[in-house]
Amino acid sequence: MYNANQNRYDSIEYKKCGESGLKLPAVSLGLWHNFGNKSDYDTMCKMCFTAFDNGITHFDLANNYGPEAGCAETNFGKILNDNMQKYRDEMIISTKAGYYMWPGPYGDKGSKKYLVASLDQSLKRMNIDYVDIFYHHRMDPDTPLYETMWALAGIVKSGKALYIGLSNYDGETMEKAAAILDELHCPFIINQNRYSILDRTVEKNGILKSAITKKKGMIIFSPLAQGLLTNRYLNGIPNDSRVKTDGRFLNEKSLSQDILEKIVKLNTIAQNRGQSLAQMALSWVYSHEGITSVLIGASKPEQIIENLKMTANASFTKEELEQIDSIVL
């Protein structure tokens, strides 16, 4: 039986999600790729234990995480109920719906029918009564924004989620959604978006500025740019890397000669800071105003430990920031 490290809260920072009362750890664990039906169960357990032992209280999922879709929730639910149930009240569990999950007109996008049904399925897979945060996973121009927000507010009122989040929204749409949720007295507290040294979309589409203005939290996924901002590709493309084996989200076109040269230059800055490239990339994201937490993925417990070291040097000089921007912009 798993017993958590008694000193787990001593070495990690917790930030409030905007002006809400909910705090998240500086680093959160995402279960996107490595908790599916092709992953080793014992390794999945060890990753969850390692995360929690080091103060990572937040575990982030979605209905379609796997592979196959739904498997990450099923496996996490088994880990939770077999080993970590006594710590449930110390954990933040989030899930999402918005992308394709099942065939037909009701298994995708943002209708109330889909969102309510999807969360019910997620709760059954994880064998839990509620999630702490439920996200709409993407903007849906085919569904009235009011309907989607009304569905989210109803989910909170039903007790199946404590808080609401929006994922992959731009600033303009988020502000419209926030206004509706305010009218419905729904606790919308956080946005989840992609952000990294190599991907500045949140700076361009207004979501980061809007989150700060509206006093909402921001949790960042892909802070390592799908693994590009690690030492994995400093000497070329390994045959067992995701660039070679994934193809869907990361392929050889993602790692052009120009990107490779930028990664090498960024690594030099990281070394001068006493960090690995991954640690610096995580620190860079976390150092920005408005960022509540950064999501990491891992395939083994040791990666979690290494990534957590980002908190030891999470500030940058003006010169370092200018150097980084001169390389990538």
Q: Residue 256: what pLDDT?
A: 82
CA dist., res. 325 & res. 308, Å (int): 24
CA dist., res. 176 & res. 8, Å (int): 39
Regarding beta strands 131-136 and 161-167, do their DSSP bridges make them parallel or antiparallel, or are they unpaired? parallel
Block residue for tokens 């150092």: 287
DSSP class of residue 62 equals -
Of 125, 150, 146, 134, nearest to 98 by C-alpha is 134
Cβ neighbours, 10 Å, residue 210: 22
Do residues 167 and 98 make contact, with C-beta atoms less than 8 angstroms apart? yes
Take residue 205 and report the two structure tokens written for it.
């589409």
Q: Residue 232: what pLDDT?
A: 87
By the 10 Å C-beta count (0-12 exposed, 13-18 middle, 19+ buried), 6 is classed as exposed
Per-residue pLDDT of the chain (329 residues; tens, 9 = 90+): 899 999 999 999 999 999 999 999 999 999 998 999 999 999 999 999 999 999 999 999 999 999 999 999 999 999 999 999 999 999 999 999 999 999 999 999 999 999 999 999 999 999 999 999 999 999 999 999 999 999 999 999 999 999 999 999 999 999 999 999 999 999 999 999 999 999 999 999 999 999 999 999 999 999 999 899 999 888 767 665 656 556 555 666 667 888 889 999 999 999 999 999 999 999 999 999 999 999 999 999 999 999 999 999 999 999 999 999 999 99
Dump strand ranges (E) for 125-187: 131-136, 161-167
Task: Sketch out the chain's domains with CATH numbers.
Answer: 14-227+277-315 (3.20.20.100)
Q: Residue 244: what pLDDT?
A: 54
User: pTM for this one?
Assistant: 0.94
DSSP class of residue 84 equals I
Of 96, 72, 222, nearest to 167 by C-alpha is 96
CA-CA-CA-CA torsion sign (131, 136, 138, 142) = positive
